Amino acid sequence: MIDTLFSGLIHGSAYALVAVGMSLIFGVTNVANFAQGSIVAVGIMVAWWLGSSLGWGILPTVLVVIVVTGLLGLLMNTAVIAPLEGRKPIAALLATIGIGQILDNGLQLIFGPQTRPFPKLLPTYNLQLFDVRFGTSDVVMVLLTALLMLALWAFLKYGKTGQAIRATSQDPEAARQMGIPVKSIRNISFVIGSVLAGISGIFVGLFNANINPMNGGSIGMTAFVAATIGGLGSIPGAVVGGLVLGVVESLGISWLGDGAHDLITFGALLIILIIKPQGLLGPKTDVKSEPLTGTFLGGGRPITLPWWGNAALAALLLATPFFFSDYLAGVGTQVAIYAIAAVGLTLISGSAGQTILGMAGPLAAGAYASAILTTQLHWPFLAALPAAGIVAAIAASILTFPVWKLSGHYVAIATIGVGAVMVAIIRLWEPLTKGSLGIQGIPFPTIFGQVLYTQQMQYLLDIVVLLLALLVVMRIRSSHLGRVFEAVGSDQEAAQALSVRSSAYKSLAYALAAFFTGLAGALLAHQYTYIDPTIFTSSASVLILTIIVLGGMNSPLGAVLGSIILIGGPELLRIVPDARIIVYGLLLVLIILFRPQGLFARKG
Interacting residue with another protein among 438, 490, 491, 496 (CB under 8 A): 438
Interacting residue with another protein among 170, 289, 436, 478 (CB under 8 A): 436
Closest to another protein by CB, 479 or 529: 529
Closest to another protein by CB, 432 or 437: 437
Residue 244 Cβ, how far from another protein at the closest point, in Å?
A: 15
Residue 288 Cβ, how far from another protein at the closest point, in Å?
A: 36
- 10 Å Cβ neighbour count for 160? 9
Closest to another protein by CB, 152 or 439: 439
d(CA 155, CA 383): 62
Contact between 432 and another protein per CB under 8 A: no
Q: What part of residues 558-577 is at the interface with another protein (CB under 8 A)? A: 567, 570-571, 574, 577
- 10 Å Cβ neighbour count for 574? 8
Closest to another protein by CB, 224 or 404: 224
Interacting residue with another protein among 437, 468, 498, 590 (CB under 8 A): 437
Q: Which x/- pattern, by CB under 8 A, does the window 177-216 give for another protein?
A: ------------------------------xxxx-x-xx-
Side chain identity at 112, as an amino acid letter?
G
Residue 322 Cβ, how far from another protein at the closest point, in Å?
A: 4
Residue 202 Cβ, how far from another protein at the closest point, in Å?
A: 15
Tell me how many residues contact another protein (CB under 8 A): 92
Cα–Cα nearest to 535, from 341, 344, 399: 341
Residue 475 Cβ, how far from another protein at the closest point, in Å?
A: 20
Q: What part of residues 140-179 is at the interface with another protein (CB under 8 A)? A: none
Residue 273 Cβ, how far from another protein at the closest point, in Å?
A: 23
d(CA 530, CA 302): 37
Q: Which residues pair with 530 in a beta bridge?
A: 440
d(CA 16, CA 348): 33
Residue 52 Cβ, how far from another protein at the closest point, in Å?
A: 11
d(CA 29, CA 35): 14
Cα–Cα nearest to 118, from 48, 71, 60, 186: 48
Q: In Å, how far are 360, 390, 530 from 535, measured between CA atoms?
A: 9, 21, 10
Q: What part of residues 64-123 is at the interface with another protein (CB under 8 A)? A: 105, 108, 112-117
Residue 434 Cβ, how far from another protein at the closest point, in Å?
A: 9
Report the SS3 class of residue 603. Answer: strand
Q: In Å, how far are 29, 266, 325, 437, 494 from 597, measured between CA atoms?
A: 20, 31, 34, 42, 24
Q: What are phi and psi of 447, to 5 degrees?
A: -115, 115
Cα–Cα nearest to 200, from 38, 52, 49, 29: 38
d(CA 33, CA 92): 8
Residue 448 Cβ, how far from another protein at the closest point, in Å?
A: 15
d(CA 584, CA 575): 12
Would you report the helix, strand and coil content of the chain in percent, each value rounded to 5? Answer: 75, 5, 20
Interacting residue with another protein among 55, 59, 131, 499 (CB under 8 A): 131
CB 346 within 8 Å of CB 601? no
Contact between 580 and another protein per CB under 8 A: yes
Residue 325 Cβ, how far from another protein at the closest point, in Å?
A: 6
Q: What part of residues 514-533 is at the interface with another protein (CB under 8 A)? A: 524, 527-532
Interacting residue with another protein among 56, 111, 134, 505 (CB under 8 A): 134
Residue 48 Cβ, how far from another protein at the closest point, in Å?
A: 12
d(CA 140, CA 279): 27
Q: Which residues pair with 601 in a beta bridge?
A: 302
Residue 123 Cβ, how far from another protein at the closest point, in Å?
A: 11
Q: Which x/- pattern, by CB under 8 A, does the window 283-322 give for another protein?
A: -----------------------xxxx-xx--xx-xx-xx
Report the SS3 class of residue 302. Answer: strand
Q: What are phi and psi of 439, to 5 degrees?
A: -110, 125
Q: What part of residues 230-269 is at the interface with another protein (CB under 8 A)? A: 249-254, 257-259, 261-262
Report angle CA 581, 119, 7 to the nearest 5 degrees.
Answer: 95
d(CA 262, CA 421): 7
Closest to another protein by CB, 289 or 440: 440
Q: What part of residues 454-483 is at the interface with another protein (CB under 8 A)? A: 454-457, 460
Count, residues in the chain? 604
Residue 510 Cβ, how far from another protein at the closest point, in Å?
A: 24
Closest to another protein by CB, 212 or 502: 212
Contact between 429 and another protein per CB under 8 A: no
Q: In Å, how far are 242, 339, 508, 516 from 470, measured between CA atoms?
A: 43, 9, 18, 10
Contact between 534 and another protein per CB under 8 A: yes
Closest to another protein by CB, 128 or 170: 128
Closest to another protein by CB, 401 or 429: 429
Closest to another protein by CB, 170 or 218: 218
Q: What are phi and psi of 427, to 5 degrees?
A: -65, -35
Q: In Å, how far are 1, 140, 241, 255 from 4, measured between CA atoms?
A: 5, 21, 18, 10
Q: What part of residues 440-459 is at the interface with another protein (CB under 8 A)? A: 440-441, 444, 453-457
Residue 192 Cβ, how far from another protein at the closest point, in Å?
A: 26
Q: Going along 251-357, which residue ranges are E strands? A: 300-302
Closest to another protein by CB, 99 or 167: 99
- Reported as type and span, the H/E element at residue 446 is strand 446-447
Q: What part of residues 315-354 is at the interface with another protein (CB under 8 A)? A: 315-316, 318-319, 321-323, 325-327, 329-331, 333-334, 338
Q: What part of residues 11-50 is at the interface with another protein (CB under 8 A)? A: 11
Interacting residue with another protein among 133, 405, 483, 603 (CB under 8 A): 133
Residue 256 Cβ, how far from another protein at the closest point, in Å?
A: 9
Contact between 557 and another protein per CB under 8 A: no
- 10 Å Cβ neighbour count for 143? 11
Closest to another protein by CB, 114 or 177: 114
